[in-house]
């Protein structure tokens, strides 16, 4: 697996400045230990006019098998021994870039800081790059990012032309760009082309993707394909990543407030907060966690109550939390009040010890944002692991939708809702949870309780049966 990076002299200095940018001296070969092999950096060419650095990965096939087996890989053993992994550019290359060229990737350069910011004439070649999706897809990935793209395909076997092309290509990219931008693009897109990450993909991968891809990925025409493949086609993760990636787009006030507008003059959200605060106070809760807190409407209402000592807002979306911090004016808040609020990123579908020790947990208009298959994880995280004395859940009552004139028949209230429940469905779900986890449950209407279709919002208040645990 080989990557070469070439630059030429500019009026900023000689081509050999590449050595400073990479933090690797052009006059020596340097080797680095990686989890499954070695990386070597050397310079086949280093003159003032033109300088080329090479990153060669020497992966140990047996090490790869060992680590695959340690991870409990279930594929046949033979595929561990006989595969292309040691020879092709894949997610190992990303690992090597992040380990061996860490400062260059992050855009810092101790000795020549200005150089890291500069656009330089760069050319990179990645040999033996598996390209699922073919040349067209390779171009669709790199051309929108401003590269001149050259793709050389290789015959599967040079002596048997009729066997056709192999799926490996040699990719060359040229651009006047910052080195860190180029490395970041490779870091994300090489594994996307390979479409076969060597390690298990979990939620941290979303953070990595958004950290590396955040800005350019947002506007990339292939952002969905990139995200899907980067996250190994895991639908839940992909959807979460895309929704975090596109969150800013929801700032379009048209879209954001469509739900509120539709809910009409009753100002349902205000009534909802009032109903929840009442349930919390009635239950005697002093420490309250709001999961899926969004922009912090409930937090704000709770902070107005002197008997509430502590409020925690948790949301999966960092953007939502930033907006919550702004709307609550956390920065300007008086120290005493500030000490009562905490915001944190997290998912209410994960058993999270940070949710323990609260008197009440509220999940307001948020369960309908979960995939139905994640409801069980939510139930266990909240009712079994956190298990507070009081849980308040609200969700739309789908029967009421016919009363919203602007809502086309059969449509859900918000584009991100995965489902909306009838009153009977919500009651059945709540009753089963209460039974299983030892709670009593009451149902309360929020908004006008229409005699025929019920209230727009339904609320369940769960109280744990036994005393403190
Ligand atoms: N409770 C707020 C926001 C409701 S919108 C209110 O009533 O105003 C739903 C919120 O749930 C969004 O902010 C979304 O980011 C968040 N969310 C979705 N899935 C989540 C999960 N698994 N864990 C925590 N928050 C989640």
Tell me: the pLDDT tens digits for 171-213? 999 999 999 999 999 988 888 887 765 555 667 777 888 777 7
When divided into structural domains, the chain yields a total of 2
CB-based contacts of 455: which residues, under 8 Å, 6+ apart? 397, 400, 445, 446, 447, 448, 449
Same domain? 323 vs 400 = yes
CB-based contacts of 104: which residues, under 8 Å, 6+ apart? 21, 22, 23, 116, 179, 180, 183
Same domain? 305 vs 420 = yes
**Residue 91's pLDDT is what?**
72
For residue 247, being part of any structural domain is answered with no
Terminus-to-terminus CA distance in the chain, angstroms? Answer: 57
Distance in angstroms (rounded) separating the CA atoms of residues 123 and 51: 10
Q: Are 123 and 173 in contact (CB under 8 A)?
A: yes
For residue 238, being part of any structural domain is answered with no
Residue ranges of the alpha helices (H) in 143-267? 179-194, 203-218, 223-230, 235-245, 253-256, 258-263
CA of 296 to the centre of ligand 1 (A): 10
10 Å Cβ neighbour count for 255? 12
The per-residue pLDDT for range 127-146, each reduced to its tens digit, is 878 887 778 889 989 988 88
Mean pLDDT of 94-109: 88
CA of 207 to the centre of ligand 1 (A): 18
**Residue 341's pLDDT is what?**
96
- Give the range of the structural domain holding residue 30, as residue numbers without chain letter: 2-200
CA of 275 to the centre of ligand 1 (A): 18
The per-residue pLDDT for range 24-50, each reduced to its tens digit, is 999 999 999 887 788 999 999 999 999
Band of the pLDDT at 328, cuts 50, 70, 90? very high
CA of 344 to the centre of ligand 1 (A): 12
For residue 205, being part of any structural domain is answered with no
**Residue 275's pLDDT is what?**
92
Give the atom of ligand 1 at the shortest distance from the alpha carbon of 297: 8
Same domain? 37 vs 162 = yes
For residue 416, being part of any structural domain is answered with yes
Mean pLDDT of 49-53: 97
Band of the pLDDT at 90, cuts 50, 70, 90? low
Nearest CA to ligand 1 atom 13: 294
CATH number, position 413: 3.40.50.150
Same domain? 172 vs 98 = yes
Best of 299, 315, 392 for a ligand 1 pocket test (most atoms within 8 Å of beta carbon): 315
Same domain? 110 vs 35 = yes
| pLDDT value at 278 more than 60 | yes
Give the atom of ligand 1 at the shortest distance from the alpha carbon of 414: 5
CATH number, position 20: 3.30.1610.20
**Residue 63's pLDDT is what?**
58
Query: Which residue did the predictor score with more confidence, 96 or 342?
Result: 342
Same domain? 156 vs 272 = no
| pLDDT value at 76 more than 80 | no
Q: Are 454 and 399 in contact (CB under 8 A)?
A: yes
CA of 425 to the centre of ligand 1 (A): 21
**Residue 415's pLDDT is what?**
81
| pLDDT value at 434 more than 70 | yes
The b-or-e profile of 30-67 (16+ CB within 10 A means b, else e) is eebebebbebbbbbeebeeebbbbbbbbebebeebbeb
CA of 291 to the centre of ligand 1 (A): 7
Give the atom of ligand 1 at the shortest distance from the alpha carbon of 273: 7
Distance in angstroms (rounded) separating the CA atoms of residues 171 and 268: 56
**Residue 112's pLDDT is what?**
85
Best of 203, 290, 366 for a ligand 1 pocket test (most atoms within 8 Å of beta carbon): 366
Domain boundary among 200, 220, 243: 200
Question: Residue 356: phi, psi to the nearest 5?
Answer: -85, 155
| pLDDT value at 362 more than 90 | yes
Same domain? 341 vs 265 = yes
Band of the pLDDT at 69, cuts 50, 70, 90? low
For residue 337, being part of any structural domain is answered with yes
Residue ranges of the alpha helices (H) in 288-408? 297-303, 318-327, 335-338, 375-379
For residue 227, being part of any structural domain is answered with no
For residue 246, being part of any structural domain is answered with no
CA of 432 to the centre of ligand 1 (A): 23
| pLDDT value at 13 more than 50 | yes
Distance in angstroms (rounded) separating the CA atoms of residues 418 and 371: 6
Q: Are 186 and 93 in contact (CB under 8 A)?
A: yes
Give the burial class of 287: count Cβ atoms within 10 A of its Cβ; 0-12 exposed, 13-18 middle, 19 or more buried: middle
CA of 250 to the centre of ligand 1 (A): 14
| Closest C-alpha to 421, from 382, 467, 375, 468 | 375
Nearest-5° Cα angle at 90, 85 to 93: 110
Q: Are 348 and 319 in contact (CB under 8 A)?
A: no
3-state SS, residue 447: coil
| pLDDT value at 292 more than 80 | yes
CB-based contacts of 310: which residues, under 8 Å, 6+ apart? 286, 287, 288, 340, 341, 342, 358
**Residue 166's pLDDT is what?**
67
Nearest CA to ligand 1 atom 23: 347
CA of 367 to the centre of ligand 1 (A): 8
Query: Which residue did the predictor score with more confidence, 336 or 163?
Result: 336
Nearest CA to ligand 1 atom 25: 292
Mean pLDDT of 146-161: 77
Best of 272, 292, 343 for a ligand 1 pocket test (most atoms within 8 Å of beta carbon): 292
Question: Residue 86: phi, psi to the nearest 5?
Answer: -65, -15
Distance in angstroms (rounded) separating the CA atoms of residues 386 and 355: 6
**Residue 312's pLDDT is what?**
97
| Closest C-alpha to 178, from 121, 139, 111, 125 | 121
Domain boundary among 171, 200, 229: 200
Same domain? 20 vs 101 = yes
Domain boundary among 172, 200, 228: 200
Distance in angstroms (rounded) separating the CA atoms of residues 247 and 252: 10
Same domain? 7 vs 131 = yes
The per-residue pLDDT for range 226-276, each reduced to its tens digit, is 888 888 767 777 777 777 766 644 443 344 445 555 555 457 888 899 899
Give the atom of ligand 1 at the shortest distance from the alpha carbon of 272: 7
Give the atom of ligand 1 at the shortest distance from the alpha carbon of 290: 1
Max mean pLDDT range (159-173, 279-293, 401-415)? 279-293
Same domain? 187 vs 270 = no
Residues with CB under 6 A from ligand 1: 291-294, 297, 314-317, 320, 347-349, 364-366, 369
Same domain? 300 vs 196 = no
Same domain? 441 vs 336 = yes
3-state SS, residue 120: strand
For residue 109, being part of any structural domain is answered with yes
| pLDDT value at 93 more than 60 | yes
Q: Which two tokens stand for residue 187?
A: 């870091």
Nearest CA to ligand 1 atom 9: 366
């Amino acid at each position: 697996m080989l990557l070469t990076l070439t630059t030429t002299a500019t009026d900023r200095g000689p081509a050999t400045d590449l050595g400073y940018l990479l933090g690797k001296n052009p006059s020596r070969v340097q080797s680095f230990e990686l989890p499954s092999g070695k990386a070597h950096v050397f310079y086949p060419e280093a003159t003032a006019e033109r300088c080329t650095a090479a990153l060669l990965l020497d992966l140990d096939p047996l090490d790869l098998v060992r680590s695959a087996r340690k991870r409990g890989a279930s594929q046949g053993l033979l595929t561990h021994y006989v595969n292309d992994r040691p020879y092709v550019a894949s997610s190992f290359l990303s690992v090597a870039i992040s380990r061996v060229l860490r400062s260059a990737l992050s855009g810092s350069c101790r000795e020549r800081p200005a150089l890291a910011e500069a656009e330089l004439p760069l050319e990179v070649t990645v040999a033996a790059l598996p390209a699922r999706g073919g040349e067209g897809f390779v171009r669709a990935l790199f051309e929108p990012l401003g590269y001149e793209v050259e793709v050389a395909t290789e015959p599967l076997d040079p002596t048997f032309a009729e066997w056709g092309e192999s799926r490996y290509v040699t990719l060359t990219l040229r651009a006047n760009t910052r080195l860190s931008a180029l490395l970041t693009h490779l870091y994300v897109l090489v594994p996307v082309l390979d479409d076969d990450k060597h390690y298990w993909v979990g939620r941290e991968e979303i953070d990595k993707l958004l950290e590396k891809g955040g800005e350019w990925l947002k506007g990339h025409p292939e952002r969905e394909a990139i995200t899907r493949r980067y996250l190994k086609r895991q639908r839940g993760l992909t959807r979460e990543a895309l929704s975090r990636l596109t969150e800013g787009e929801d700032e379009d006030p048209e879209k954001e407030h469509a739900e509120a507008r539709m809910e009409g003059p009753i100002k349902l959200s205000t009534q909802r907060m009032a109903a929840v605060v009442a349930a919390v106070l009635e239950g005697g809760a002093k420490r309250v966690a709001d999961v899926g807190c969004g922009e912090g409407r409930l937090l704000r209402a709770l902070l107005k109550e002197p008997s509430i000592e502590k409020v925690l807002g948790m949301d999966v979306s960092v953007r939502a939390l930033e907006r919550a911090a702004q709307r609550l004016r956390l920065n300007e808040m008086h120290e005493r009040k500030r000490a009562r609020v905490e915001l944190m990123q997290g998912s209410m579908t994960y058993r999270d010890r940070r949710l323990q020790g609260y008197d009440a947990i509220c999940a307001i208009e948020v369960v309908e944002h979960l995939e139905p298959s994640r409801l069980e994880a939510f139930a266990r995280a909240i009712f079994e692991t956190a298990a507070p004395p009081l849980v308040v859940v609200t969700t739309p009552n789908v029967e009421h939708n016919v009363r919203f004139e602007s809502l086309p028949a059969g449509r859900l209230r918000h584009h991100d809702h995965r489902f909306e429940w009838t009153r009977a469905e919500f009651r059945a779900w709540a009753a089963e949870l209460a039974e299983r986890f030892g709670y009593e449950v009451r149902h309360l209407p929020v908004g006008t309780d229409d005699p025929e279709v019920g209230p727009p919002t339904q609320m369940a208040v769960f109280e744990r049966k036994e005393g403190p645990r």
